[in-house]
């Protein structure tokens, strides 16, 4: 099904051609949703933007277009406003028809991408032997939602976890563990990630102050790189221990992705350097191999280098990303590659992308983007910490959200004199608590920093997950109260839009596709959140104004169908954010 805007655009183009000739083909009708209901539903300022090209005043252009514009099926007669805007108001009969056609469509009328792509979303990507921190949590939540939206649009998505599982620090850690906790290197469950992180810190201290130890650590690195069996085994155990902890978080969040860590690209690193040399970009500077970057200068104003091989022969984070980029384009056949990390890595990605482009590794059909996000701050506006000043463990952070929602739920159940099972309470609290954390993250424009506040995210009013979950559950309660099967109803419901609030709700319901397509392009899930929040508000206004169960039979059926479509829209939209719904809570 074509969306309303697409319908209008096609008609508009026909009229332009009829009025001003075939070279108008492809002209952008500049149709946008009207900013104010008094301008109708959509507004075009094409007439204004065409004045130069056509050498006519905008109102005359608008009039000429209207002379040929046939949109009677969709709109009331369009009107010209101000200097030459054209306003469109959708007809109730058109809206009724559109809603009827989405009733039996599991996709609610949202068209799939016309050209499905092979897409890679590189997200989450924590580091081995380090705690997964809130930055990784943001990446996990945002990346998962982006992947879900692209999948829903029919793209072939590869979700990659670019885990930091390689580097000289492993030599240091292994050398240290051989001394203080050798069993960690031979048995798979000797220590926990928390201990590992502490050992890592101690190893670093030791490394910084002890030259003898530095040499031992370096030997371990050489052994690791040359594939010495005991060192390899030790490294693998460290990876497994960390992975176990990461899995706990992924399970809680219901996020699934494929681990392909930095070590995977080791065999391809020498070729990166070799091919850069062949392309003439590589320069040796103080023994290091590097590419001088355009647009990046040091304090003295000289171009900055991107080092791809250090003087000791070691490779860098950037080298691995260059190798990964080549692999993803060459082997995975990716056409769109999306990297979700905090904005602190923006320079890193700009530099890597620049070098890859200059080396000619990025074909024209491939789009690569960094999707940055801001910091997570505590309520004091500073970096998020526990009360005692330590970094917050993600596990604890998610558990706390669940515990707090559980407290709220228990009170509510008591207040309402309900009897609920333990299973019910625990399920509702888990879904609402975890969803609240996800939604708080997704509903902000990801580019800004966000303040982590349990009170705000768990509130049952406002733009929060609990609010939307309750909105959904309330609609389901209508079907229970009226003993109505929404699915059966939707199969043959006839929709009649009479009241203003019904029309407003209907128009909003029909905008889902536009919103999803926007997010598919701009990768800003907060737009979808806002859409869902506004949907619940518009639904509430409708529900307050229009009796549903008590209405006369045909009106009742139509209104119940509106309820059913709203519920399905909420459910679908939330699922694209990684949030499941609850029928009752
Ligand atoms: N492991 C990195 C970190 O924790 C993130 C990796 C992001 N992905 C990439 N291809 N560089 O900062």
Q: Atom 4, ligand 1: which residue's CA is nearest?
A: 126
| 252 token code pair | 């809680």
How many angstroms separate the Cα of 377 from the Cα of each of 81, 124, 383, 450? 46, 18, 5, 6
- 299 and 178 in a common domain: no
User: Which one is predicted more confidently, 542 or 298?
Assistant: 542
Q: Which of 310, 342, 377 is the last residue of a domain?
A: 377
- 175 and 157 in a common domain: no
In angstroms, rounded to a whole number, what is the distance separating the alpha carbons of residues 334 and 485? 43
Q: Atom 9, ligand 1: which residue's CA is nearest?
A: 162
Render pLDDT for 63-107 as a digit per residue (tens, 0 to 9): 999 999 999 999 999 999 999 999 999 999 999 999 999 988 999
- 268 and 359 in a common domain: yes
**Number of domains making up the chain:** 3
Count helices and strands in the chain by DSSP H and E runs = 22, 14
- 303 and 176 in a common domain: no
Question: Which residues, at least 6 apart from 463, have a Cβ–Cβ distance to it below 8 Å?
Answer: 443, 529, 530, 533
Q: What is the mean pLDDT of residues 142-152?
A: 98
- 363 and 320 in a common domain: yes
- Mutate-to-test residue for ligand 1 from 123, 124, 125, 322, highest number of ligand atoms within 8 A of CB: 125
Exposed e or buried b per residue across 198-207, where buried means at least 16 C-beta atoms within 10 angstroms of its C-beta: ebbeebeebb
- Mutate-to-test residue for ligand 1 from 345, 371, 373, 391, highest number of ligand atoms within 8 A of CB: 345
- 130 and 75 in a common domain: no
Q: What is the mean pLDDT of residues 535-558?
A: 95
Cα 35 to ligand 1 centroid, rounded to whole Å: 40
Residue 336, pLDDT > 90, answer: yes
- Mutate-to-test residue for ligand 1 from 341, 351, 369, highest number of ligand atoms within 8 A of CB: 341
- 186 and 146 in a common domain: no
Q: Are strands 258-259 and 367-373 parallel, antiparallel or unpaired?
A: unpaired
Which pLDDT value is given to residue 466?
98
CATH of the domain at 50: 3.30.1360.70
- 128 and 11 in a common domain: no
Cα 252 to ligand 1 centroid, rounded to whole Å: 22
Ligand 1 binding pocket, CB closer than 6 Å: 122, 125-127, 162, 164, 321, 324, 339, 341
Do 478 and 548 touch, CB atoms closer than 8 A? yes
Render pLDDT for 423-463 as a digit per residue (tens, 0 to 9): 999 999 999 999 999 999 999 999 999 899 999 999 999 99
Beta bridge partner(s), residue 116:
none
User: Which one is predicted more confidently, 332 or 312?
Assistant: 332
The verdict on residue 237 lying in a domain is yes
Render pLDDT for 104-136 as a digit per residue (tens, 0 to 9): 899 999 999 999 999 999 999 999 988 898 999
Residues of the chain with pLDDT > 90, as a percent, come to: 80
Q: Atom 5, ligand 1: which residue's CA is nearest?
A: 125
Position 345 confidence tier, pLDDT thresholds 50, 70, 90: very high
Q: Which of 334, 350, 377 is the last residue of a domain?
A: 377
Cα 338 to ligand 1 centroid, rounded to whole Å: 12
Render pLDDT for 19-30 as a digit per residue (tens, 0 to 9): 999 989 988 889
The verdict on residue 99 lying in a domain is no
Q: What is the atom index within ligand 1 of the atom nearest the CA of 342?
A: 12
Q: What is the mean pLDDT of residues 15-19?
A: 94
Cα 88 to ligand 1 centroid, rounded to whole Å: 47
Cα 126 to ligand 1 centroid, rounded to whole Å: 7
- 373 and 299 in a common domain: yes
Q: Residue 22 is part of which domain span?
A: 4-90
- 206 and 130 in a common domain: no
- 340 and 302 in a common domain: yes
- 154 and 32 in a common domain: no
Which pLDDT value is given to residue 129?
87
Q: Which of 215, 234, 254 is the last residue of a domain?
A: 254
Tokens 């954390």 sit on residue: 437
Cα 377 to ligand 1 centroid, rounded to whole Å: 20
Do 91 and 40 touch, CB atoms closer than 8 A? no
In angstroms, rounded to a whole number, what is the distance separating the alpha carbons of residues 155 and 190? 42
- Mutate-to-test residue for ligand 1 from 164, 169, 239, highest number of ligand atoms within 8 A of CB: 164
């Amino acid at each position: 099904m074509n969306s309303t805007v697409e319908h209008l655009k096609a008609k508009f183009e026909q009229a332009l051609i009829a009025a001003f000739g075939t070279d108008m083909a492809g002209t952008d009708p500049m149709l946008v949703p009207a900013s104010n209901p008094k301008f109708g539903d959509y507004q075009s300022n094409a007439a204004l933007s065409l004045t130069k090209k056509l050498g006519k005043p905008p109102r005359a252009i608008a009039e000429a277009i209207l002379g040929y514009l046939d949109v009677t099926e969709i709109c009331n007669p369009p009107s010209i406003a101000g200097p030459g805007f054209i306003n469109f108001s959708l007809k109730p009969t058109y809206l009724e028809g559109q809603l009827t056609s989405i009733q039996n469509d599991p996709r609610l009328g949202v068209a799939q991408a016309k050209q499905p792509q092979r897409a890679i979303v590189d997200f989450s990507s924590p580091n081995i032997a380090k705690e997964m921190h809130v930055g990784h949590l943001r990446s996990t939540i945002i990346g998962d939602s982006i992947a879900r939206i692209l999948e829903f649009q029919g793209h072939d998505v590869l979700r990659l976890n670019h885990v930091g599982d390689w580097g000289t620090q492993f030599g240091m850690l292994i050398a240290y563990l051989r001394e203080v906790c050798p069993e960690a290197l031979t048995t798979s469950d000797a220590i926990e990630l928390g201990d590992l992180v502490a050992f890592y810190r101690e190893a670093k201290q030791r490394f910084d102050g002890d030259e003898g130890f530095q040499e031992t650590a370096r030997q371990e690195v050489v052994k690791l790189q040359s594939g010495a069996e005991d060192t390899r085994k030790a490294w693998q155990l460290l990876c497994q221990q960390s992975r176990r902890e990461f899995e706990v978080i992924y399970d809680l969040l219901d996020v699934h992705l494929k681990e392909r860590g930095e070590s995977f690209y080791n065999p391809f690193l020498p070729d990166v350097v070799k091919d850069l040399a062949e392309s003439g970009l590589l320069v040796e500077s103080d023994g290091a191999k590097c590419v001088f970057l355009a647009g990046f200068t040091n304090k003295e104003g000289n171009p900055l280098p991107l080092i791809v091989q250090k003087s000791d022969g070691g490779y860098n984070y950037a080298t691995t990303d260059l190798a990964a980029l080549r692999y993803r384009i060459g082997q995975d056949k990716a056409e769109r590659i999306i990297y979700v990390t905090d904005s602190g890595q923006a320079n890193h990605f700009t530099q890597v992308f620049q070098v890859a482009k200059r080396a000619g590794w990025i074909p024209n059909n491939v789009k690569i983007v960094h999707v940055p996000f801001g910091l997570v701050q505590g309520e004091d506006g500073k970096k998020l910490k526990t009360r005692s000043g330590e970094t917050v463990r993600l596990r604890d952070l998610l558990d706390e959200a669940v515990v707090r929602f559980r407290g709220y739920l228990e009170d509510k159940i008591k207040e309402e004199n309900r009897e609920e099972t333990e299973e019910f309470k625990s399920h509702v609290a888990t879904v609402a608590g975890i969803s609240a954390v996800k939604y708080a993250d997704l509903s902000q424009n990801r580019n800004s920093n966000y303040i982590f506040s349990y009170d705000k995210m768990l509130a049952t009013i406002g733009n929060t997950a609990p609010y939307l979950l309750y909105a959904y559950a309330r609609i389901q309660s209508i079907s229970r109260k009226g003993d109505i099967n929404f699915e059966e109803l939707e199969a043959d419901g006839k929709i009649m839009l009479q009241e203003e609030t019904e029309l407003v709700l209907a128009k909003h319901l029909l905008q889902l596709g536009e919103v999803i397509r926007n997010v598919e392009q701009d990768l800003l899930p907060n737009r979808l959140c806002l859409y869902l929040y506004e949907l619940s508000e518009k639904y509430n206004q409708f529900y307050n104004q229009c009796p549903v169960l008590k209405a006369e039979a045909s009106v009742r059926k139509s209104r119940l169908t509106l309820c059913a479509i709203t519920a399905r829209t909420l459910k679908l939209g939330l699922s694209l954010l990684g949030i499941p719904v609850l029928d009752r809570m």
